[in-house]
Amino acid sequence: MAITWKRAYLLPGPPRRGKTSMITAMANYLKFDIYELDLGRVCSNYELSRLVATTSSGSIIVVEDIDC
């Protein structure tokens, strides 16, 4: 059984400060795929888990516009 390593980062700040550019640069450097997740279209925790589970190994999942 393999251990899956996951990290989460919150990049707060006003628009146009380079957050998305940094994510893109990091993905290019690491040769990772980028998945953008729109939480407004996710109906349940099960669906969210399924979507995350179907991403490829070596990927970055971006959730934009999180208003806490």
9 within a domain of the structure (yes/no): no
In a domain, 1, yes or no: no
57 inside domain: yes
In a domain, 58, yes or no: yes
- The pLDDT of residue 35 is 93
The tens digit of pLDDT for each residue in 33-65 reads 999 988 888 889 999 888 888 888 889 999 887
Decide if pLDDT at 1 tops 70. Answer: no
pLDDT confidence of residue 38 = 87
pLDDT of 5 above 70: no
| Kind of pairing between the strands at 33-36 and 59-62 | parallel
Residue 41 lies in a domain: yes
The answer as to whether 31 is a domain residue is: yes
Give the range of the structural domain holding residue 27, as residue numbers without chain letter.
Answer: 19-62
Number of domains into which the chain is organized: 1
